[in-house]
Amino acid sequence: MKILLFADSHLGFNYPIRPRIERRRRGADFFQNYQHILDVAITEKVDVLVHGGDVFFRSKIPPLVIEKAYEPLLKVLDNGIDIFLVPGNHERSRLPQTPLFHHPRLHLFDRPRTFIIRRNTSEVAFGGIPNIRTNVADSIGRAIAASGLIETTAQMKVLCLHQSIENAVVGVQNYKFRRGPDVIGLNQFPRGMDLIVSGHIHRQQILKSSYGTPIIYPGSIERTSFAERLEEKGYYVITLSEAGITREFRPLQCRPMFEWSLPVNLIDESSLLQEMESKRGFLPEDAILRIRCASPAQLSVLKIEKVRRLFPASINVEIAPPSRIAAYHPVGYA
């Protein structure tokens, strides 16, 4: 059985329906990679498509974005591919309703449950749980038991989640999650699972449970923050067979991210703009740029409209406050 696994598409991110200012937005990049993955599923005739959660970037989504996300799934279903959706934390563990949820090949983990997929002589049970938002360490055992996955007699068992798991690594600082109330311990997964897949962590990586079960994070399909600027984004193609499990990570095209820090000695607007203009030639035409101020004074004099006019329209530009200041100043907010 061939499975295509991806997660954290965050559709609707930076995708205003009625923008007040016409400029390039990042939202189209997310939809582009999302559509590419669906096209691969159809072209390569996979048996199962699994989305590991956070289809959307928040719980309240404009109907146009919902339609744009769900509509291409129908073509996947009509090609005989079963789709599994795990509601993530961005959706508050509940996906927006659609008539597609009544399609016999679309399987929604709106509660702990298990579906069995048969292909020729293969029989694989997919159990899943919507994102548990608080105290997951206390409830994950009961949730897995409630899904019915442990009791099934299928040849192979796949557990689908959207959670933080012990030893997962994130960010440019390589922060590693330790077991806690909101982090599942590696010894909390039951024996007998053949594969565990999960969304939520945006860096692709593979862990192992205490029983040696592979835990695959495909990562997000786009860079959602500058903390991910060095990460390669993509999805997994996984094959389940009597011989075992094989997996292949497929990278996606993502625009490069750059961060500039302004010299602390420059204060007036003219000098700051000249400094940016002198460096803009080093940027690729499709760059995503964050300009970090060295002081609140720089943040107060810079106007994002003037800064953006220095760069080609194909480059996304934002201004960030000094690193020690957590809150964005209204003038500098992009």
Structure tokens at 121: 């002589």
Measured CA to CA, the distance from residue 255 to residue 323 in angstroms comes to 24
Q: For CA atoms 61, 63, 69, 74, give the dihedral sign.
A: positive
Do 172 and 314 fall within a single domain?
no
Question: Which residues contact residue 27 at a Cβ distance below 8 angstroms, ignoring those fewer than 6 apart?
Answer: 11, 12, 13, 14, 15, 16
Do 72 and 153 fall within a single domain?
yes
Measured CA to CA, the distance from residue 265 to residue 253 in angstroms comes to 38
- Among the three residues 251, 275, 294, which one is the final residue of a domain in this structure? 251
Do 238 and 270 fall within a single domain?
no
Q: Specify the 3-state DSSP secondary structure of 196.
A: strand
Q: What pLDDT was estimated at residue 22?
A: 86
Do 236 and 266 fall within a single domain?
no
Do 107 and 214 fall within a single domain?
yes
Do 261 and 119 fall within a single domain?
no
Residue 242 forms part of a structural domain: yes
Do 90 and 157 fall within a single domain?
yes
Residue 63 forms part of a structural domain: yes
Structure tokens at 331: 């003038």
Secondary structure letter of residue 95 according to DSSP:
P
Residue 241 forms part of a structural domain: yes
In the predicted model, residues of the chain with pLDDT beneath 50 are 326-334
- Among the three residues 251, 273, 288, which one is the final residue of a domain in this structure? 251
Residue type, 278: S
Do 216 and 244 fall within a single domain?
yes
Q: What pLDDT was estimated at residue 333?
A: 31
- Among the three residues 251, 270, 293, which one is the final residue of a domain in this structure? 251
Do 183 and 272 fall within a single domain?
no
With beta carbons less than 8 A apart as the criterion, state whether 246 and 271 touch. no
Structure tokens at 247: 């997996």
CA separation (Å) from 152 to 12, 34, 57, 114? 37, 32, 34, 9
**pLDDT tens-digit map of 29-43:** 999 999 999 999 999
Q: What pLDDT was estimated at residue 328?
A: 41
Residue 330 forms part of a structural domain: no
Do 235 and 123 fall within a single domain?
yes
Residue 329 forms part of a structural domain: no
Beta-bridge mates of residue 234: 251
Q: What pLDDT was estimated at residue 127?
A: 98
Q: What pLDDT was estimated at residue 324?
A: 66
**pLDDT tens-digit map of 57-86:** 999 999 999 999 999 999 999 999 999 999
Boundaries of domain holding 226: 2-251
Residue 332 forms part of a structural domain: no
Beta-bridge mates of residue 106: 83
Residue 328 forms part of a structural domain: no
Q: Count of domains in the chain?
A: 2
Secondary structure letter of residue 20 according to DSSP:
S
Predicted TM-score of the model (pTM): 0.93
Q: Give the residue carrying structure tokens 């329906």.
A: 17
Q: Give the residue carrying structure tokens 């989504």.
A: 61
Secondary structure letter of residue 329 according to DSSP:
P
Q: Give the residue carrying structure tokens 């625009």.
A: 255
Residue 232 forms part of a structural domain: yes
Do 265 and 213 fall within a single domain?
no
The CATH number given to whatever domain includes residue 236 is: 3.60.21.10
Query: What would the DSSP string read from start to end of 205-255?
Result: EEEE-TT--EEEE---SS--SGGGTT---EEEEEEEETTEEEEEEEE----
Do 215 and 277 fall within a single domain?
no
Measured CA to CA, the distance from residue 254 to residue 246 in angstroms comes to 25
